[in-house]
A and B are shown apart, each in its own frame.
Chain A
Amino acid sequence: MLTFTIRRLLLSIPTLLFIAFVIFMLLELAPGDPMAQMPLTIPPEVKEKMRLALGLGEPWWVRFPLWLKQFFIVEPQYWIDSAFGTNFADGAQRIISFQSRSPVFDTIAQRMPQTLWVVGMSYVVGVLIALPIGIISAYRQYSVFDQTGTFVSMIGFSVPPFFSGVLLIVIFSVQLKWLPSIYDTTHVVNSWDSFVVQLRQMIMPVMVLALQTTAQVSRYMRASMLDNLTQDYVRTARAKGMSESVVVMKHVLRNSMIPVITVIALGIPAIFGGAIITEQIFKVNGLGQLLIIALQGNDIPMVMTITFLLAVLIVMMNLIADVLYGILDPRIRYD
């Protein structure tokens, strides 16, 4: 298992380099000018100088390796330096945003907590709701509970967050005035009351994202449970005199979780993608919103870095899913 993990980690390096290259070239070839938003009064010579100052004078085969070096060497050096007070980076140039002129990673570090709170929380909530729904739906197949679950997850699948989000805002913020429509990122949780405020502003974005997760994961859980409930080993467990709870929650669940865990791991990058839209709707200034603003402003280093981080997340989650599969299923031996 360990050798497998190491081998997969090593293999993911060329994969990620290739992905980085593709993203870089896509951004390179895409139309759009980082100078486009500068006031028209700036004379062309000055604009040209600014362009050179941003490093845009160099051809891509110089800029791409430079970005790689900054991403993989300079930035980690800076983190180590700031954590341990060392001086590895030695003033080397970090990845700088075209728009804010500050290091890309500083901005990302500021925005990350908002996204993690909303996205992470919604995923955890979504999965925790989905698992029991899937289990009960399968155990009581075609019951009223199961039919309701099927209906709700159909809605979760088919209604996009930009619709369900706006719908929730209209109902709960505009009409009922129960919940705030805008996520206040400056809010600090330091007491019970402020915690309640935080909860209230998180409810809607979390629900919108969780609905999707719940819909998906509960379907997978149900299907996987149904697959296993009819297996011969279930009959064996019953013939041994095991109670229904042991049969279902131990024998069947343990087998059913194997594919579901994979789905859960692979769903993590997807939910970050979904957050891009949800953050826009609820005005959460997290990574999703940062990416949209960077795209609009042709802020290539920012777009490149966020997109690549997402790619890293996808590759890593794939790896984790495979490793978990091997841990959970004794029949699988990777080495």
Chain B
Amino acid sequence: MPDGTTPVLDVQDLKTVFRTRGGEVHAVNDVSFSLRKGELLGVVGESGSGKSVTMMSLLGLLPVPPAEIRGGRVMFDGQDLLQIPAKTLREVRGGKIGFVFQDPMTSLNPVFTVGYQIAEPLRKHMGLSKKAAAVRSRELLELVGIPDAEQRLLDYPHQFSGGMRQRVMIAIALACDPQVLIADEPTTALDVTIQAQILELMKELRDKLGMAVIWITHDLGVIAGIADRVMVMYGGQVVEHAPVHDLFSNPKHPYTTALLKTIPSIAGERAARLTVIDGQPPLVVGPPTACPFRDRCAQAMPVCATKVPSRYDVGDGHDAACFLVDPLEVAHAG
């Protein structure tokens, strides 16, 4: 439930590259977005479009070589997360910004009990005693709907199912009452019924705790039900950004239009869905010089190969990085 306009997180012109043997992979190119208090921002795009790298860049979670953050600003709590010292950044991680990763099977440490792993951030960020941390850990497990919480704190990750492990991950991310929760495809690795449960849980928790959420997915269908605003990414760039209803009813970017056509009518059609857009997402070696989507775009024009489209405003907090909506190009054509 967005309350007005105060952004808790404001990202400007973020650029991240990977130095690899085959050259510099420009995984994130001038990405800008902001997140308002209590809002749920959906981030969609095929796999490889730079969603995870963008979010991990915010918190400095990428391995530093090969990754390198080339530029940008990440304003949070009055400071630029890209500039603050490592120690201050660690207080933000897990304390003020929680992170849930894609694969719950590998994201928990196999040799520590679940109770220990939940208590760790509690003790570090909130300075709780062992006892107090145990009490709070139990509450958290109950909050994310794990039955028999007291007992399960003593179990190891392998004793939990995938869905239960993802609940544990969510409990860890929520442990210190973060202002922002970043969920990177938290349901992708789970089967459909469990996906729905986790989704339901997240909706409920957001209403209860009132934090802002960034929800990453490659599935527009998931986004429709929960997001306030949606940001579509492709080739390391934001290609379209709009309030959720606007995006679904009035997509401006051909990529978004194509994505919308791929939403399955029933959940069972997953396999078919992934092949609907012809062609492969680009591997961006070197800085982008043209529209990344032009090779797969049915409406490509000569101008698309000559420069990178900027994000053109199309009204009501809706913008798209496509020459089809560039006022100049439109004027030319008309």
Binding site for B on A (CB under 8 A): 231-233, 235-243, 251, 254-255, 258, 328-331
Contact = CB atoms under 8 A, between A and B. Distances in A.
Interface of B: 56, 59, 61, 90-95, 99, 101, 103, 106-112, 120-121, 124-125, 156, 158, 169, 172
A331 B157 CA distance: 9
B111 A242 contact: no
13 contacts: A231-B106, A232-B107, A235-B61, A235-B101, A236-B107, A236-B108, A237-B120, A239-B94, A239-B99, A239-B101, A242-B121, A243-B90, A329-B110
A204 B331 CA distance: 87
Contacts of B107: 232-233, 235-236
A227 to B, nearest CB: 13
Given A235-B101, A236-B101, A330-B158, A241 B110 contact: no
Nearest to A231: B106
Contacts of A233: 106-110
B228 to A, nearest CB: 24
Listed residue (A233, A243, A254, A255) with the most chain B CB atoms within 10 angstroms of its CB: A233
Contacts of B158: 330-331
Given A236-B169, A242-B90, A242-B94, 6 more contacts: A232-B103, A235-B61, A239-B61, A251-B109, A255-B109, A330-B111
Contacts of B94: 239-242
A240 B91 CA distance: 9
Nearest to B113: A330
Q: What are the 4 A-B residue pairs with the smallest beta carbon separation, nearest first?
A: A241-B94, A240-B94, A239-B99, A232-B106
Listed residue (B91, B108, B110) with the most chain A CB atoms within 10 angstroms of its CB: B110
Nearest to B159: A330
A330 B156 contact: yes
Contacts of B110: 233, 255, 329-331
B111 A240 contact: no
Nearest to B98: A239
A146 to B, nearest CB: 14
Contacts of A255: 109-111
B59 to A, nearest CB: 7
A254 B99 contact: no
A240 B158 CA distance: 20
B101 A241 contact: no
Contacts of B56: 235
A152 to B, nearest CB: 25
Contacts of A231: 106
B285 to A, nearest CB: 23
B124 A241 contact: yes
Nearest to A230: B63
Given A242-B90, A331-B158, A237 B109 contact: yes
A243 to B, nearest CB: 6
Contacts of A238: 61, 93
Contact of A254 (B90, B101, B111, B121): B111
A240 B108 contact: no
A242 B99 CA distance: 13
B116 to A, nearest CB: 10
Listed residue (A233, A241, A243, A255) with the most chain B CB atoms within 10 angstroms of its CB: A241
B90 A241 contact: yes
Nearest to B97: A239
A330 B115 CA distance: 14
A241 B92 contact: yes
A240 B101 contact: no
